[in-house]
Structure 1
């Protein structure tokens, strides 16, 4: 009987530790208005709202970075927004909602993040090929939500990618984003010459 209680206690501790290191992630893509969405697509704009939920988020800060990869190699990491710069941005409650805006124009990627009562600085990054070759992808696949297992180095939540090209000349974006390949290995595995990852780190 005593051994069963010990096992149960260990299971509860393990479950608690797992919950401490995970976040429920859901998303809302673009606009629900079809005509507006068509216009957004035509203008080369991508919009995605991500909602992070867990009671342990209360009182935490977060940092959002953009990582650039070329020919399968990591190039640089750029901070898009760091909430720890002010207590004003501290998470208050169990939910964090962030809306990400990306615009592809004139061989540039423009980024903007909007949260509750703030918006980030607009930033620009060079593209390696035609703007029409790039697309925003998340890692949900066919799932309506994800359980994000938090890591100390941060978690990839979005990707701006070019497609993988098959031998017959056809291409695919979804094959890349919905694969089981680690985000930082996408370029190497799928022979993608250039892409960006958006990561988030809670602290």
Structure 2
């Protein structure tokens, strides 16, 4: 009997992993060069996200903005909550949306857009010089990552750079360090930054309702 349980565990573990695994693709490409120049001038970024997993059918998602100061989480803001209306429920195994951000004139603004609906726009004051903030994702050498269906997903960070002894700064070293995003401030002495975090919610299991 014990050997039967062992065989069951061996074959079920990869299956459960596959059900939980979500393919995430990120793109920042804007095909219109003139539009890209205008966006650069205005401090606007558009990041496209695409998620694929058969268990996304009938699921919904929520996005939070987490603000950190002096290495500590000071506030969490809800950008979008898909549980507010049935219209937000996913009708296929694919979820797609754009996140639009603007960093300009001492403020950071963010909103979500899809082909069917849009979130509210949130705006936050910046405590450092505006030119020091940059939008970064957590990809390394690929625009496609595999993330969890049941755990929070870190999408973007709005950060100031890690300062090097020679006076230069590095953004990529921070975002692509592999350090847990909630610990970036303490690890790299970043006084103020934001995280964009999302989570899927299904009608199954513990992740059925946003917190």
Q: Is 1:158 aligned to 2:156, yes or no?
A: yes
- Asked if the contact 1:162/1:195 (under 8 Å) is kept, the reply is yes
- Asked if the contact 2:27/2:143 (under 8 Å) is kept, the reply is no
Equivalent in the alignment of 1:119: 118
Q: CA deviation at 1:3?
A: 7.9
- Is the partner of 2:50 in helix, strand or coil? strand
1:150–1:181 Cα change, 3 Å: farther
Give unpaired runs (5+ residues) of structure 1: none
- Asked if the contact 1:46/1:101 (under 8 Å) is kept, the reply is yes
Q: Is 1:191 aligned to 2:192, yes or no?
A: no
- Asked if the contact 2:160/2:190 (under 8 Å) is kept, the reply is yes
- Asked if the contact 1:72/1:187 (under 8 Å) is kept, the reply is yes
Equivalent in the alignment of 2:64: 65
Cα distance in 1 between the residues matched to 2:89 and 2:143: 27
- Asked if the contact 2:60/2:88 (under 8 Å) is kept, the reply is yes
- Any idea what the Cα deviations from partners look like across 1:4-63, whole Å, max 9, x if unmatched? 775543233111221232211001104123332232112101110010110011111111
Cα distance in 2 between the residues matched to 1:15 and 1:35: 47
Cα distance in 2 between the residues matched to 1:5 and 1:35: 64
Equivalent in the alignment of 2:142: 143
TM-score (norm 1): 0.92
Hey, which bits of structure 1, 4+ residues long, moved more than 6 A? 2-5
- Is the partner of 1:118 in helix, strand or coil? coil
- Asked if the contact 1:30/1:46 (under 8 Å) is kept, the reply is no
1:15–1:26 Cα change, 3 Å: same
Give unpaired runs (5+ residues) of structure 2: 202-211
RMSD (CA atoms): 1.7
- Any idea what the Cα deviations from partners look like across 1:102-124, whole Å, max 9, x if unmatched? 01122111111001310111111
